[in-house]
Amino acid sequence: MKAAGISENTAGADSLPLHRVAKTWWPLAASWLLMALELPALSAVIARLPHPEIHLAAYGGVVFQLALIIESPIIMLLAASTALSKDWASYRRLHRFMMTAGGLLTALHLLIALTPLYSLVVEDLIGAPPEIIAPARLGLIVMTPWTWSIAYRRFNQGVLIRFGHSQTVGIGTVVRLSANLIVLFVGFNLAQTLGPQRIPGILVGTAAVAAGVMSEAFYAGWAVRPVLRNQVRLAPPVEPALTWQVFFAFYIPLVMTSLLTLIANPIGSAALSRMPESLASLAVWPVVTGLVFMLRSMGVAYNEVVVALLDQRGAYRSLKRFAELLSAFTTGLLLLVAATPLAALWFERVSALPPFLAHLARSGLWLALPLPALSVLQSWYQGALLYGRRTRGVSESVVVYLFVVAALLAAGAVWGGAIGLYVGLAAMTVSMAAQTAWLAWRAAPVLAEIRQRDE
């Protein structure tokens, strides 16, 4: 019995050369890499303004974590749009879902930011240090456009990837990063002129992030218009047609995946807030994870490549080989940074961390060494499950991740014998390894059928 979604393409067994995989991957990787530069750029600017520990901790420990959780139901629209936007009727159905979900989640964002719910979440549940509570609330209000912009952008990017325009996604990220850097530059100079009381670091950072995502969303909406007119409208209708029942059966496990994954972030913030050197750990956390995500992003981008290309004969061998090469390359890059003066250069000069925080970051970086390779492998296995429409396995893997990371963080908080940053990074690495192992097990039947098809 064949997995759902696996096609009987009659092309030859060698129809997918390695350079075709690379050609599809690099625009997406460039997009993710440029997007990953956003957090280091933001951290570098905030670190050069007054009270960097407070404002870095407010952004990394509260604002960014809550914004990600609120957007979690729409974060998988990129994968869903890539996999399902095959004709005009399917596109319209997904568009209706995107607009509705984006509006409701934006209302939820405002409800948390502007009502007593904020105190309940940030003070009682997360247990954030008192110094960061007021700055974090300001940052969360400024980030209001984030969720709808992400929904609109990811949905349209999926259409572009599905119809062979992945390079346009990379251009959109350049637009986003450019807007981000412009606002950071202007905000930094205004803060220097008007003073940190009127233009605090958290305001500069969150205004830049909001401007970036809105700019990229507008660009994606503009870039997709000729694709809709000339390709999506003319595409042959999918049989059977995409129904709401089929869509939600495909998408709800993905929503649970992103939600459960992102729940780990405030759990991490709450745990770090209860461990030794809590403020320092929360301040360094976005700087270290921002650097690691720059390398992980190349693996994260591989997910859509697998989904888009796995239906071709000969794809298994090429895609698996590319995953192996990419794992080795990204791990080697992180090792090079950790083992050489590049780490000091990045944390002390580029990120402008004070000496103690820079030392903390350099030491913690070693605990994150396996993460880039794990991201590549997760994209390989998760892409296979998405292609085979067995998304339940993806959700299960996130439950494994959440259980392991919560257990390790709770143990670290109870023990209290290690700096929070070290416990957090170690927990992240071990839990991602457990998640990858589960994905490998669940994807094995799909990959076996694809391998048999190719042979």
Q: For 235, which DSSP code?
A: S
CA distance 24 to 182: 30
Q: For 289, which DSSP code?
A: H
The pLDDT of residue 128 is above 60: yes
Q: What is the pLDDT of residues 366-381, one digit of tens each?
A: 999 999 999 999 999 9
The pLDDT of residue 133 is above 80: yes
Q: How far is CA 54 from its chain centroid?
A: 24
Q: How far is CA 167 from its chain centroid?
A: 19
Q: Please give the pLDDT value at position 278.
A: 85
Q: Please give the pLDDT value at position 123.
A: 87
The stretch 52-58 carries a mean pLDDT of 86
CA distance 310 to 455: 14
Q: Pick the more confident residue, 334 or 20.
A: 334
Specify the pTM: 0.72
Which range is least confidently modeled, 138-152, 263-277, 395-409, 429-443? 263-277
Q: Please give the pLDDT value at position 283.
A: 83
Sign of CA dihedral 32, 437, 79, 325: positive
Residue indicated by tokens 């048999």: 452
Q: Please give the pLDDT value at position 107.
A: 96
Query: How far is the first Cα of the chain from the last one, in angstroms, to the nearest whole number?
Result: 17
CA distance 264 to 294: 20
Highest mean pLDDT among 7-16, 83-92, 253-262, 366-375: 366-375
Q: What is the pLDDT of residues 60-80, one digit of tens each?
A: 878 988 898 898 888 889 888
Q: Please give the pLDDT value at position 223.
A: 95
Domain positions in the chain: 6-29+243-455, 37-241
Q: Pick the more confident residue, 347 or 7.
A: 347
